[in-house]
Structures are given as C-alpha cells and as structure tokens.
Chain A
Amino acid sequence: MALPAALPTLLPPPKLALRGIAKRFGATPVLDGLDFEIAEGDFVSIIGPSGCGKTTIFNIIAGLLEPDAGTLLYEGAPVDGLRGRVGYMMQKDLLLPWRTVLGNVVLGLEVRGMAPREARDKAMDYLATYGLAGFENSYPRALSGGMRQRVALIRTLIVDPDILLLDEPFSALDYQTRLYLEGVLMEAVERFHKTVVLVTHDIDEAVALSRKVVVLSHRPTRVKALHDIEIAERSPIGARSDPHFSGYFHALCSELDIQTKRVQP
C-alpha cells in the first residue's frame, strides 16, 4: 500500500513492521519477502500451512534468527530483533523441569535482576490471579498439560513485555481447557493493553481472538491476504456465537484452500 508521502509523518509509526523479510535454510527458501504491520494494542493472528515458516517469523522477531534480507521496524526504527523486549511463548511449554512452578514464573524477573523477595511476591500474586495458588512448589512434571501452559503464559506475562508472540500456545489442549485459557489470555490482554501476535492452526481461534488475520501462502512464503475481523464481542465464546463469525471462518478456510465441501469422486 503506497501512502501519500506526507501522510506517514502524521500517523504514529506501527508498533512493529516487517519489510521484505526473507529467510532460507540451506537450499530451501522459506520466507520470500514478507510485509505486514502490527499496530500498538493490536491482536494479530498468523495462519498458514504447516511448515510455511510461522515459527521462523517469530524467531526472527524475537532476535533468535537473522533474516537474509529485509528489515524489522520497531516503532519506526530499524532493529535487529527484539531480544528481551518480547514475551515469546513457544510451541512447547518449555518449563524448566528442575524448577518449581514458582521458580519457572520468576525466571524472566530473575534475568532482569529483580530482587528475589520482590520477584517472589509478584509471582505469588500472578499465580493467585490465574488460579495456581497452592501449586507454587510443584515441579512441572506433576502438572497437567493445561496447568503447564498456564504457567508458561504467566511466565510470559509477568515480565510485562511490549509485544506477546504466542506460537500455537493452546494447540495441544482439549477444547474446554483451550476456551478457558483463551479467556484468560484475552482478559490479560485487555487489562494490560498488550500487543499480541498469535500463530495458530485453528481458524476458529484466529477469528474469535484477533482483530486482524494474516494469511500466509505455501513455501516460499508470502502474505496471501490480510483480513480485518470486526466482531464486537471479545470473549472467546461470545465471539464464536457472533453472527459475523461464520462468514469470516469460511472466508479464511477458502483462503487456505481447505476443502469444506465433500470432493466428488
């Protein structure tokens, strides 16, 4: 989208912008020049076929990988990556098995050098808010999948990052737990006015949670479509019963070439 030259100076720059980001692994081109923007306080979902490079995009934004080409603009200024400024919740819960729930939750605070006493108090507050009081001394292996994911979410939220990068955070959970955690996430996002980027396989989840959906193509990956989702209701269950919901859902399904009708023999 080419804006008139005078306009950009009047608008605040987007929180984060990807400009022509490209990445290949060996001979395989994975990202083939990606462009999209994320506004302050936005909730953006990224959907795309498996292996198209969604995790790779997050690794680049988080500063774990360098792109081969393209730039990353943070509030208008080019950056190498957002190490220490993003809350990155990876595809696996990645709890440290040798630390208790409390130890895992304070990890980020510890890295930032917060005093242990203060970190502990803050963590206990968060654990109580998210229904994990009483589990602070349990080791991760004693927790259910949903509880582990909740701990990982708290660990991500507690450091108060500018941007949340959530890589299929709930995909391994049953539907009930997932709805519950989506609610927890939405509540936290609204309360702390977070900017969120969510990778998901679940179109249903993308429509219910986000204001904007980025659809990616097969490898070599480009942005195939951008959709603004206008659903007033923000709760995970409420959004799913909104009259516009199924319209968005089917539009995105066809965008991803998912067959929703039976194939004729």
Chain B
Amino acid sequence: MKRAAPLDTAFGRAAIQLTLVILLLAGWEGGVRAGWIQAFLVGSPVGIWGELVRDVSNGSLFYDTGITLYESIVGFVVGTFAGSLIGLGLWYSRFVARTVEPMIVAFNSVPKIAFAPIIILWFGTGLTSKIALAISLTAIVALIAAYQAAKEADPDLQSLLVTLGADKDQVFRKVIVPSALPGIIATFRINVGFGLVGAVVGEFISSQHGLGHLVFTASSLYDLNTVWLGLFTLMAIGFGLYFIIDLVERKSLPWKLDSVRQDLRV
C-alpha cells in the first residue's frame, strides 16, 4: 500500500484550490495598485467586486443570468432530446440512415456559429433566436452520438430478443435504447456547454439582455470590470450545470456504477 499525500483529501484539496485563487486575485490587485498592470485593459478584482455589488443590488445581474440560463437550458433540452430521438430513429431504417448520413456530416462540418446571423434574421432579436441557435448546436451533436450508439448495440443481444419472439419495436425499446443511453448521456456534458455558447453568441449579435449582452456592451465601452463579472458568472453557470449533469449521469445509469467500484491504481 502506498501512503497518500496528507493533503490528498477533499478538505486538503479544497484548501489548496482556495489558496491558489486567493493568491492569483491578490497578485492581480497588487499588480494594479503598484502600477505594473493597467487597470484600464484588465480591470481589477476590487473593481469587479464593486460591479458585482452594484449589479446584484439593482437586480440586473439576476435578470441577465436568468435570461441566458433560460435560453441555454431550453436550447440544450430541446436540442439534445430532439437530436437523440432522431439519431435513435435512424436505427429503424438502414436505407434512410445511409442516405442522410453524408448530409449530416456535411452539415456538421460547417462551424454552426456561422449560422448565427441567418438564425437571427429568421427568428428575430428576442429569446427565440438564441434558443434556436442553441438547439442547432446541440441537436447535431446529440443526433450523431445517438445514431452511432444505436448502431453499436450488440448484435447478439438483438438476436437474443429475436429468438424470444420480439418484433422490431421491442428490439428497439429493450436493446437499442438502453444500450445507446450511456452514449447519449455522455453528450449531455458537451451539449450543456454548447447550449451556453449558442445563447451567448446569439446575445453578442443582437440582444437587449443576457450575460452575452452584458459582456459585449461592456467590452465595447472598455468597462473591463463588468466584462469580468459577466465571464465569471458564465463560469459559475457552466460549473453548476456540469455538476447537475454529473448527478443525472450517475443516477440514470445505476448498472454502470452499482456494486463493486474498484479503486484501481495504475
């Protein structure tokens, strides 16, 4: 048995992480005060704190955060759900799947962000266009992953169902969907990020509210403290969503974790 480092505990790691962040912020603030760093170009922690207090007390930070969260979550949920469903559905017909596969690949190879201007044109400058953008980013990822996962379902398990007398729908429900589920759930982590990208980029292009709007307008005014406030808030949102997804993943696939969890040291 190797002895673990004494700081390698949940508490120890948190203490180290906190110390590092504090050191970074202190160095930043100190650098600004000493004149080594130009506050005009990078802002300062104390200035960011001031913005935070102001935007929290007038409620605008919550409002902007709510807008962006709403756009990205709706986009993520609808896009991932619809994409997964279509991807799984392609399992039903090899003919259809093979026909559309190159089109999907072609569509996927365009940086989807490039569609942002037309999506704004079609869906207007309100929330709908941001949701549409988030959907277009997430749906394709989910579709490809779900289709791939469905294709890779063990043919022997499918045969087993057939010998038991199952029809195609039963094979789909009892083998294809459950065996594709881990692959589909794995896209949630990526797609949560893409949902946020869609919302924020949409807000950059044209919007009245949201964190993307906050960051974009502040940076055009060289208000770096507000820019950082927006970025840190986005970071916090991303972080929170990631944890929720992690929880969903562990709760929805008990058969993957259940029982013996080995502590393998390599």
List the one stretch of A8-16, A135-143, A196-204, A221-229 in contact with chain B.
A135-143
Knowing A97-B255, A142-B259 are in contact, say whether A83-B162 is a contact too (CB < 8 A): yes
**B175 to A83, Cβ gap below 8 A?**
no
Tell which of B162, B163, B179, B255 has the most Cβ of chain A within 10 Å: B163
B178 within 8 Å of A (CB atoms): yes
Which of A36-44, A66-74, A87-95, A241-249 lines the interface with chain B? A87-95
Binding-face segment, A105-113, A119-127, A212-220: A105-113
Q: Are B156 and A141 in contact (CB under 8 A)?
A: no
Q: Give the CA-CA distance A94 to B157 in the complex, in Å.
A: 6
Determine whether the beta carbon of B259 is less than 8 Å from that of A88. Answer: no
**A62, CB-defined interface residue at 8 Å:** yes
Contact A138/B259 with A96-B175, A96-B178 known, Cβ cut-off 8 Å: yes
Shortest C-beta distance, A259 to chain B (Å), equals 34
B170 adjacent to chain A (CB < 8 Å) = yes
Report whether A96 and B157 are in contact in the complex, using a CB–CB cutoff of 8 Å.
yes
Q: Compute how far the CA of A138 lies from the CA of B259 in the bound complex, rounded to whole angstroms.
A: 8
Within 8 Å of chain B (Cβ to Cβ): is A63?
A: yes
Give the Cβ gap from A16 to chain B, nearest Cβ, in Å.
15
- Bound together, the chains give a CA A64 to CA B157 distance in angstroms of 12
In the assembled complex, A159 has its CB within 8 A of some CB on chain B: yes
Say yes or no for B106: interface residue by CB 8 A criterion: no
* Interface set, chain B 218-266, CB cutoff 8 A to A: 253-255, 258-260
A108 — nearest CB in chain B belongs to which residue? B164
Which of A83, A90, A142 is B258 in contact with, Cβ under 8 Å?
Answer: A142
Q: A139-B255, A139-B259, A142-B258 are in contact. Are A84 and B164 (CB under 8 A)?
A: yes
For A59, the chain B residues whose CB sits under 8 A away are 159
Q: Does A25 contact B (CB under 8 A)?
A: no
Query: Which residue of A64, A92, A98, A107 contacts B179 across the interface (Cβ within 8 Å)?
Result: A98
Main secondary structure of the interface of B (DSSP, over half): helix
The answer to whether A107 and B159 touch across the interface, beta carbons within 8 angstroms, is no
Decide if A153 is an interface residue (CB 8 Å cutoff): no
B130-161, CB < 8 A from A: 154, 156-157, 159-161
Determine whether the beta carbon of A84 is less than 8 Å from that of B165: yes
Query: Is B166's beta carbon under 8 Å from chain A?
Result: yes
Task: Chain B residues near A92: list those with CB within 8 A.
Answer: 156
Which residues on A sit within 8 Å (CB–CB) of B258? Answer: 139, 141-142
Expressed in whole angstroms, the Cα–Cα distance for A162 and B161 within the complex equals 17
Contact A83 B163 (CB under 8 A): yes
Question: B96-140 CB contact bits vs A (8 Å, 1 = yes)?
Answer: 000000000000000000000000000000000000000000000
Chain A residue at smallest Cβ distance from B260: A142
Asked if B259 and A111 sit within 8 Å, CB to CB, the answer is: no
Taking CB atoms and an 8 Å cut-off, the chain A residues in 125-154 that contact chain B are 138-139, 141-142
CB of A47 within 8 A of chain B?
no
Q: With both chains docked as a complex, state the minimum distance between the C-beta of B154 and any C-beta of chain A, in angstroms.
A: 8
Q: With A139-B255, A139-B258, A142-B260 in contact, do A94 and B165 touch (Cβ < 8 Å)?
A: no
Given A64, A88, A111, A138, which contacts B166 in the complex, CB threshold below 8 Å?
A: A111
B residues neighboring A (CB under 8 Å): 154, 156-157, 159-166, 170, 174-175, 178-179, 181, 253-255, 258-260
CB atoms of B255 and A141 under 8 A apart: yes
Q: Within 8 Å CB of A112, what residues of B?
A: 164-165
Q: Which 10 interchain pairs have the tightest Cβ spacing?
A: A84-B165, A142-B259, A88-B163, A108-B164, A139-B255, A98-B178, A111-B166, A98-B255, A62-B163, A111-B164
- Whether A84 touches B156, Cβ cut-off 8 Å, given contacts A111-B170, A139-B259, A142-B258, is no
Least CB distance, B14 to chain A, in whole angstroms: 33
Chain A residues near B181 (CB, 8 Å)? 98
Complex Cα distance A98/B161, Å? 15
Which residue in chain B gives the minimum CB-CB distance to A59?
A: B159
CB of B156 within 8 A of CB of A83, answer: no
B72 to nearest A CB, angstroms? 30
Report whether B164 and A94 are in contact in the complex, using a CB–CB cutoff of 8 Å. Answer: no
Query: Does A52 count as interface, using CB distance less than 8 angstroms?
Result: no
Residues of B within 8 A of A98 (CB): 178-179, 181, 253, 255
Nearest CB in chain A: distance from B186 CB, A: 15
Q: CA separation between A111 and B254, bound complex, in Å?
A: 23
Query: B171 → chain A, closest Cβ, in Å?
Result: 9
Within residues 142 to 175 of chain A, which ones have a CB less than 8 A from any CB in chain B? Answer: 142, 159
A97 vs B160: C-alpha distance when bound (angstroms): 14
Name the A residues within 8 Å of B260 (CB-CB): 141-142
A90 with B159: CB separation less than 8 A? yes
A22 within 8 A of B: no
Q: Which one of B160, B170, B178 lies within 8 Å of A88 (CB-CB)?
A: B160
Asked if A111 meets B165 with Cβ closer than 8 Å, knowing A90-B159, A90-B160, the reply is yes
Q: With CB as the reference atom, state the residue of chain A lying closest to B166.
A: A111
Whether A30 sits at the interface, judged by CB under 8 Å, is no
Kindly list chain B residues whose C-beta atoms are within 8 Å of the C-beta of A108.
164-165
